[in-house]
Structure 1
Amino acid sequence: MPNKKILCIDMKSFFASCAAVELGLNPLECYLAVVSDTKRQGSVILAASPRLKKEFGIRTGNRLFEVPKHSKIRIVNASMSNYLKRSIEISQLLNEFVPIEAIHPYSIDESFVCLDGTERLWGTAGEAAVLIRNRILQQTGLPSAVGIGPNMLLAKCCLDLDAKIDGIAEWTYGDVQKKLWSVTPLSKMWGIGSRLESTLNRMGIVSVGQLARYNRELLEKKFGVMGAQLYYHAWGIDYSELGAPNMQGQVSYAKGQVLLRDYNDTKEIKHVLLEMCEEVARRARQAGKAGRTVSLGVGYSKTEGAGGFHRSKTIDAPTNVTMDIYHVCLELFAKFYRHQTVRKLSVTLSNTCDDNQYQLNLFDSGYEKRRKLGYAMDQIREKYGSTALLRAVSYTKGGTAIERSKLLGGHQA
């Protein structure tokens, strides 16, 4: 089995810690919550400091109105530009310990680092982890936790299940049966979400140990390639290479958003869909691609008991024209929408090819003009900003493009 020295480094309550440092507070001692918008009581909690989590039970995903009115508690708006700046600073710091190719940023607040070949410089993996953790704290004031393992999977599981409690922890293959197999519910293991967990539970699998002892062929029959991966992961086996791409090139272009409020007006929902189709088409054009399969996802509000649908349609010729994609979405929407309150929308263009492979249609002489117009609009937006050219729907009550143009990563910059 691969037996590398991999660190999985996580910044504790990253957004909240960054905000605390900016305010001159101790991230581990203060009571602070970061929200998407302090002016909206239904605003989502994006991060809570460790003390706020422990003593008041406030966690990521709670709403602002759930935070107690207490003099100790500070509520601040998100500042995504500041968080990105800190994240880059931490990556640059890690580069002082290992080459850039040995660093794999997993998210804005989490990175994998391969220490192989650095033993003479920094000592054992545990000693290097202490050095890195102390340097991050000294340079940025941000606390972190480090999981160490022989591969990315065990380093991540070690972080999530041990290191976030103790600060630094290390797992080997010898720890799998004792520490990994006892994990339940299954969603506590990296790579297993709530839906997959429910499916596995229905198969009689409720712990990682049971997953490891399940018949591999039956898992493969049920889940395909992912079934084999689940089986091997339950044994702590992971052949992933640090920083290796999952696939060569992007095969789809998508836009999804959680709406700022519930939408129950069909006309307003269509306005947002048009804006999203515009963004998907723009991303495809930027890559010089066009696609034949259009997918529409609609998620209903919790007031409707959640739920929704996700449907796709493949058209005859590839396209990256906004209105072509929009008309397919309208067709899917009309067929599957049941007039319920909508809170989430997604549009995807897949089954892609290079945009120089399209075939002219004798019955649609205007396609080439529409295609060139899309590229011309992209050039104007690239030069003058994303709001330099907007469709009229963006100025309606249901439009979201103007408001979202002020955001970074979906939150205030």
Structure 2
Amino acid sequence: MDNFYPKKGRVILHVDMNSFYASVEMAYNPSLKGKPLAVAGNPEERRGIIVTCSYEARAKGVKTTMPLWEAKKLCPELIVLPPDFEKYRKASISMFQILAKYSSLIQPVSIDEGYMDITECINLGSPIEIAKKIQAEILAELQLPCSIGIAPNKFLAKTASGMKKPLGITILRKRDVPSKLWPLKVENMHGIGRRTAEKLNKIGITTIGELAKANDYQLKQLLGINGIRLKARANGEDFRPVDPDAVSEFKSIGNSTTLKADTTDEEEIKGVLNRLAGSVERRMQRHHVVSWNIQITIRYYNRETVTRSRKLKYAIHAKEDIFNAAWYLFKKHWSEEPIRLLGITAQDLEEKNDSTKQLNLFTFEEEAKDEPLINTMEKLKDKYGDDIIVKGLTKPPQTSTPTTSFQKDFLQDYKWRKEE
């Protein structure tokens, strides 16, 4: 038996489906296999955006979020299909049902990936044998390829699964970190985005190895407590368990305050909401979570209490975004009667590291159109500071446009099916 099973510690698998949406389309229509294929919104229109594409299309230079016209220019023979949500949902449920044959400790983190704890599965074979069986069964039963990372913790398992695609199986032990991870650029590390990488680069941290050896005080000054957590990850440390119930833990973090006197003064109310947003942000930072739903509580002078919430297009965690969502709700629902108490609650929480921004299939075109503006704003902030631009309130999406991501909806649906 493989001695990978430790006397102490865990054995974690990260199962990551390869080019999932495109692969599902190929499974439904085998004639598409081996051809350059892309899933895109509004494929009839030149302004459509690539959601995902096959490896044959990637070999031609086609990439996710690329405008359709550009993809067609690179690959004139590109086959473009609109997204079919029900197909992807069914395929994902079937995939997780296969995983459940091997372990009861499964934690989905999106429609096409999840963690498994196989520490107690020694009777099923070595970790590499179990990974091979899972990969082969998913391919045989569903005609879908996947890559699997094997490691002692979630961070290393996630990192390992991305090392060989498609149909890769990679073992990443903690002792491998100095040779396999440290030489890589810091922006290649799971959990580090472009802005964080830029901040680290400015203080001379360009590789994962430099992050692993960085000064704690300097990291905390630059990135807060998240800097210390990223350093631990860079050293291969991650103590998060695989939690099957995490899908259903739509907990909340909130704060409320009773005003010194009943008031209708908008400036005073705005100041209170701003302070509450700051309090909620700090608590969310301590728990390393983001929110998909903001709720406000208004208690009037006569003790009548109302709560109103707003689902968000993207997950948020910053004070400014929390305040903006709360202020919009307040302006929409305030009766203009004197107020005694105000509260803000962040709901539908999700761990920040697992909340990689998924391309929203309903709104990706809007996002792509905003990209030049966003790039300009970032350049201005870099040159003149963050205060040069202050975001204004924007009108929320119309009710005809879905405002929660397909990925988030799937996780709730998965939990509901699991409990049946």
TM-score, normalised with respect to structure 2 = 0.62
Contact map agreement 2:108 2:114 (CA 8 A) in 1: yes
Mapped partners of 2:236, 2:312: distance in 1:
35
Q: In 2 relative to 1, CA 318–227 (structure 1 residues): closer, same or farther, beyond 3 Å? A: same
Mapped partners of 1:205, 1:139: distance in 2:
45
Task: Describe how 1:150-165 pairs up with structure 2 within 5 A.
Answer: 150-160=152-162, 162-164=163-165
Residue 238 of structure 1 deviates from its aligned partner by 0.4
Q: In 2 relative to 1, CA 318–60 (structure 1 residues): closer, same or farther, beyond 3 Å? A: closer
Task: Describe how 1:52-131 pairs up with structure 2 within 5 A.
Answer: 52-54=57-59, 56-68=60-72, 72-99=77-104, 102-121=105-124, 123-131=125-133
Query: Which residue, out of 323, 326, 332, partners 1:323?
Result: 332
Mapped partners of 1:94, 1:350: distance in 2:
42
- Partner residue, 1:149: 151
Contact map agreement 1:81 1:408 (CA 8 A) in 2: no
| Deviation sequence 1:289-334 (CA, Å, 0-9, x none) | 847999999xxxxxxxxxxx9566499x99967713799xxxxxxx
Mapped partners of 1:350, 1:49: distance in 2:
47
Mapped partners of 1:353, 1:31: distance in 2:
42
Mapped partners of 1:294, 1:404: distance in 2:
12
Q: In 2 relative to 1, CA 179–84 (structure 1 residues): closer, same or farther, beyond 3 Å? A: same
Contact map agreement 1:219 1:227 (CA 8 A) in 2: yes
Q: Secondary structure at the match of 1:163?
A: coil
Mapped partners of 2:313, 2:82: distance in 1:
32
Mapped partners of 1:76, 1:95: distance in 2:
31
Give structure 1 stretches of 5+ with no counterpart: 253-278, 298-308, 328-348, 355-397
Mapped partners of 1:406, 1:221: distance in 2:
35
Residue 135 of structure 1 deviates from its aligned partner by 0.2
Contact map agreement 2:14 2:157 (CA 8 A) in 1: yes
Contact map agreement 1:153 1:236 (CA 8 A) in 2: yes
Q: Secondary structure at the match of 2:30?
A: coil
Q: In 2 relative to 1, CA 96–312 (structure 1 residues): closer, same or farther, beyond 3 Å? A: closer
Displaced runs of 4+ in structure 1, greater than 6 A?
279-285, 291-297, 317-322
Q: In 2 relative to 1, CA 408–280 (structure 1 residues): closer, same or farther, beyond 3 Å? A: closer
Q: Secondary structure at the match of 1:351?
A: strand
Q: Secondary structure at the match of 1:195?
A: helix
Contact map agreement 1:295 1:311 (CA 8 A) in 2: no
Residue 142 of structure 1 deviates from its aligned partner by 0.5
Contact map agreement 2:39 2:80 (CA 8 A) in 1: yes
Task: Describe how 1:171-190 pairs up with structure 2 within 5 A.
Answer: 171-184=172-185, 186-190=186-190
Q: Residue type matched to 2:225 in 1?
A: V
- Partner residue, 2:278: none
Mapped partners of 2:50, 2:20: distance in 1:
13
Residue 12 of structure 1 deviates from its aligned partner by 0.6
Q: Percent identity?
A: 26
Mapped partners of 1:294, 1:119: distance in 2:
43
Contact map agreement 1:146 1:164 (CA 8 A) in 2: no
Q: Secondary structure at the match of 1:105?
A: strand
Q: Residue type matched to 1:159 in 2?
A: S
TM-score, normalised with respect to structure 1 = 0.63
Q: Secondary structure at the match of 2:164?
A: helix
- Partner residue, 2:345: 352
CA root-mean-square deviation? 4.2
Contact map agreement 2:295 2:308 (CA 8 A) in 1: no
Mapped partners of 1:200, 1:182: distance in 2:
15
Contact map agreement 1:284 1:320 (CA 8 A) in 2: no
Contact map agreement 1:290 1:320 (CA 8 A) in 2: no
